[in-house]
Amino acid sequence: MADKVRWGILSTAGHGKNTVIPAIQAASNAEVVAVASRDKDRASVFAERLGIPKAYGSYEDLLADPSIEAIYIPLPNHLHKPWAIRAAQAGKHVLCEKPIALNAQEAEEMVRVFADAGLKLAEAFQWRHHPQGLQLREMVRQGAIGEMRFIDAGFSFMLTDADNVRWDPAMGGGALYDVGCYPISFTRFIAEAEPVAVTGQIRWHSSGIDDLAVATMEFPGGVFAHINCSFALPLRRYYEVVGTEGSIASNHTYNPKGDIPVELVKLGPDRIAQERITLPPQNSYVLMAEDFCRAVRGEADLRYPPEDAVKNMRVIDAIFKSAREGVRVEL
């Protein structure tokens, strides 16, 4: 493809280095042309390692590069809003790591800035681009489990690095922001609706962040969802969608790997597997990058517009409010 979207990367974060940048480089309609760090030497080493042509010693210098069209932001959560807005002011489209902001008000401001500038903004929930979630939603639509009644979803891992920024409340740390946003997004994706009320409980770590959170989400039509997330539980990435005639489950969710097949398991009312649906390996990060680039080129609308990120943040806000005040929060 001759007219690839030219990307710049703000920071040398590990998730970008190990996962997202290689995926953008592998996308058919994208190329990574620059990376920035506050340390020029670090940016240069990073760029050489990943085969990126340009390295900048400041984020400002990268944003000033007229050849760059799109920015990927993997910065700590509290920096998402300010640097996304600065990117928009520089005329750049932005793919921003989740959560897109620290609350719905911040996310709404970001959406307004990008809309006024005529630029694309998207939250980097790559799992939504993988056929696994799309096929599951279509199966639910077609009545594969009867009438959907309940969604159970969780994401946890043991965070043992005491110096990790996820422990710092001033930097937007906490399990709900970091991994809880995934099952929240998933339940909304499958319910194809917004919750009408939320009830949440949180265990607060001595650092001031939430290291374990659970919540019940009430959707229209009598559908309920339970989500949980933690930095203090073993690795768990799962969901199960339950209906009147059975359920569909997966234990390899939110980050279906590009090098192995993934599987959906349909269970009957007796909890015995009736069908196993195996999907071939696909890199969901590559799919996300290609979708974003098509939107930048005007070949398609964003599959998930930034307004969806605002809605996800409203649920996160409501869970925090419910846990702190001990009340059911209506949305």
Q: Mind listing the pLDDT tens digit for each residue in 15-55?
A: 889 999 999 999 999 999 999 999 999 999 999 999 999 99
Q: Of 37, 7, 48, which is closest to residue 24 (Cα–Cα)? A: 7
Residue 97: DSSP 8-state: P
Let me know: does 29 contact 1? Beta carbons within 8 Å: yes
Domain span including residue 181:
127-286+313-330
Same domain as 219, residue 248: yes
Same domain as 201, residue 54: no
Q: Quick one: which H or E segment has residue 98?
A: none
Same domain as 174, residue 99: no
- Residue matched to tokens 């290689």: 22
Query: What global pTM score does this model have?
Result: 0.96
Q: Kindly state whether residue 306 falls inside one of the protein's structural domains.
A: no
Same domain as 155, residue 115: no
Same domain as 241, residue 322: yes
Same domain as 78, residue 13: yes
Q: Kindly state whether residue 135 falls inside one of the protein's structural domains.
A: yes
Percent of the chain with pLDDT over 70: 98
Q: Kindly state whether residue 320 falls inside one of the protein's structural domains.
A: yes
Same domain as 292, residue 188: no
Give the model confidence (pLDDT) of 84-114 as tens digits. 999 999 999 999 999 999 999 999 999 999 9
Same domain as 295, residue 259: no
Same domain as 273, residue 140: yes
CA R_g for the chain:
20
Q: How many helices (H) and strands (E) does the chain have?
A: 11, 15
Q: Kindly state whether residue 68 falls inside one of the protein's structural domains.
A: yes
What's the rounded Cα separation, in Å, for the pair 106 and 104?
5
The two tokens of residue 249 are 């489950």
Number of domains in the chain: 2
Q: Kindly state whether residue 308 falls inside one of the protein's structural domains.
A: no
